[in-house]
């Protein structure tokens, strides 16, 4: 039965009470984030009816910025600056941290976000979303607080106080964790509230689905090839059951599907560009999604390290990402461990040809 009377705002307040006292700044910041997500949802829903500004070029990742990327970024900055809860923000669309300008008060939190994840799918009307992560700003002696530096944002995912994502699809949703479970809220467009519709979300342990971009298969490391091949072999292979492959190329949609149906999502390291340690950004993509998955009973890893334990070294640092049902993630991690130990096995695969499973491709990395 839907929890119609439990709005997003009410849920946050009650959660704070259960923890022994209200954190008014965090509560207000989360309410600002939900307001920003409503505004972005309206903009996205208008599609080609929205009056777009011209594309201005590429972002810090050398990726083409679409008009809606920039619009969503501005909405997040404008909506979350004025309330006095954040000291600074970092975004996929900005090379440097954003400092909350005067006359706005600077608060005790840092907000990191991907304003429009999956925006490459906008043209084909696929679900996109917003990903966010909240950290406490480092304690200081300045009063009022000084400007945040890039180093202030470089904190492991274990220090997140909240994380979540919004989905802009057939319905608009926010999925959030405050460190004690994962909860989903659906936007009632007639009233304007996000209402609790998916309390205590848990990743199903049993799964028959995996998601990966098969077009990159020739560049994968052997442990990833092994896992995928076993899934493809289905009931006649070592897994003894048939798998379906899904690939949406929208991280928010992939993670939501895993929360509902279980499964595994992989964007592993590959040999296409050995100078890059991965594809997805640690601080505002991998970390918040890893926190959500772990709080829902799943797991998230690079294949060699728990995502939430990575010590960041750069604001836009990239990592491999493997997340989903815990047993599946642990299986892929085990394959990486045996590979790194040099334990040999013959991998006779119709997909990848006969080869030594543990003969690493040239340029393979040993860690993250």
116 is in an annotated binding site: yes
| pLDDT of 177 | 98
213 is in an annotated binding site: yes
120 is in an annotated binding site: yes
278 is in an annotated binding site: no
117 is in an annotated binding site: yes
Fold of the domain spanning 3-198 = Fructose-1,6-Bisphosphatase; Chain A, domain 1 (3.30.540)
User: What distance in Å separates the CA atoms of residue 128 and residue 115, rounded to the nearest whole number?
Assistant: 10
In the chain, where are the structural domains located? 3-198, 209-356
Q: Kindly state the helix (H) or strand (E) to which residue 80 belongs, with its residue range.
A: helix 67-81
152 is in an annotated binding site: no
Kindly report the pTM of this predicted structure. Answer: 0.89
Closest CA to 287 of 364, 227, 368, 195: 368
Coil, helix or strand at residue 244: strand
End-to-end Cα separation, the chain, in angstroms: 44
119 is in an annotated binding site: yes
| pLDDT of 351 | 62
Alpha-carbon distances, residue 91 vs 69, 83, 167, 316 (angstroms): 11, 19, 18, 9
Q: What is the DSSP string of 149-211?
A: -HHHH---GGGEEEEEEEEESSSEEEEEESSS-EEEEEEETTTTEEEEEE-S----S---EEE
Give residue for tokens 């809220």: 185
User: What distance in Å separates the CA atoms of residue 222 and residue 339, rounded to the nearest whole number?
Assistant: 8
285 is in an annotated binding site: yes
CATH of domain 209-356: 3.40.190.80
Q: What is the DSSP string of 123-139?
A: GGT--EEEEEEEEEPPP
pLDDT tens per residue, the chain (368 residues)?
Answer: 455 689 999 999 998 888 777 789 999 999 999 999 999 999 999 877 765 554 556 655 566 667 899 999 999 999 999 899 999 999 999 999 999 988 888 999 999 999 999 988 888 888 999 999 999 998 864 555 678 999 999 999 999 999 999 999 999 999 999 999 999 999 999 999 999 999 999 999 989 999 999 999 999 999 999 999 999 999 999 999 999 999 999 999 999 999 999 999 999 999 998 888 999 999 999 999 999 999 999 999 999 999 999 999 999 999 999 999 999 999 999 999 999 999 855 455 556 555 444 444 434 443 43
User: What distance in Å separates the CA atoms of residue 324 and residue 202, rounded to the nearest whole number?
Assistant: 11
| pLDDT of 343 | 87
What letter would DSSP give residue 247? -
99: region left, alpha or beta (phi > 0 left; psi from -120 to 50 alpha): beta
């Amino acid at each position: 039965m839907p929890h119609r009377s439990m709005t997003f705002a009410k849920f946050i307040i009650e959660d704070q009470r259960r923890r022994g006292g209200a954190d008014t700044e965090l509560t207000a910041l989360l309410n600002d984030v939900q307001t920003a997500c409503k505004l972005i949802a309206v903009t996205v829903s208008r599609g080609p009816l929205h009056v777009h500004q011209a594309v201005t070029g590429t972002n810090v990742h050398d990726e083409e910025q679409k008009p809606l990327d920039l619009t969503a970024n501005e909405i997040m900055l404008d909506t979350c600056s004025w309330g006095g809860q954040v000291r600074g923000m970092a975004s996929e669309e900005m090379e440097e941290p954003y400092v909350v300008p005067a006359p706005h008060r600077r608060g005790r939190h840092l907000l990191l976000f991907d304003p429009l994840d999956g925006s490459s799918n906008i043209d084909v009307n696929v679900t996109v979303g917003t990903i966010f992560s909240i950290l406490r700003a480092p304690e200081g002696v300045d009063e009022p607080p000084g400007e945040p530096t890039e180093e202030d944002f470089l904190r492991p995912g274990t220090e997140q106080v909240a994380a979540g994502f919004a989905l802009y699809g057939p319905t608009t949703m926010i999925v959030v964790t405050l460190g004690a479970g994962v909860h989903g809220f659906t936007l009632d467009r007639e009233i304007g509230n996000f209402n609790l519709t998916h309390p205590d979300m848990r990743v199903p342990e049993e799964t028959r689905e995996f998601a990966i971009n098969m077009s990159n298969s020739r560049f994968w490391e052997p442990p990833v090839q092994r896992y995928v091949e076993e899934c493809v072999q289905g009931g006649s292979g070592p897994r003894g059951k048939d798998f379906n492959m899904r690939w949406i190329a929208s991280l928010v949609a992939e993670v939501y599907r895993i929360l509902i149906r279980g499964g595994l999502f992989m964007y592993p390291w590959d040999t296409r560009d050995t100078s890059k340690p991965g594809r997805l950004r640690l601080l505002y993509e991998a970390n918040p999604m890893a926190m959500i998955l772990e709080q829902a009973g799943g797991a998230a890893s690079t294949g060699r390290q728990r995502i939430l334990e990575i010590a960041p070294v750069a604001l836009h640092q990239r990592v491999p990402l493997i997340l989903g049902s815990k047993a599946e993630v642990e299986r892929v991690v085990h394959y990486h461990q045996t590979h790194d130990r040099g334990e040999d096995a013959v991998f006779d695969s119709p997909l990848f040809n006969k080869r030594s499973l543990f003969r690493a491709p040239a340029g393979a990395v040993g860690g993250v």
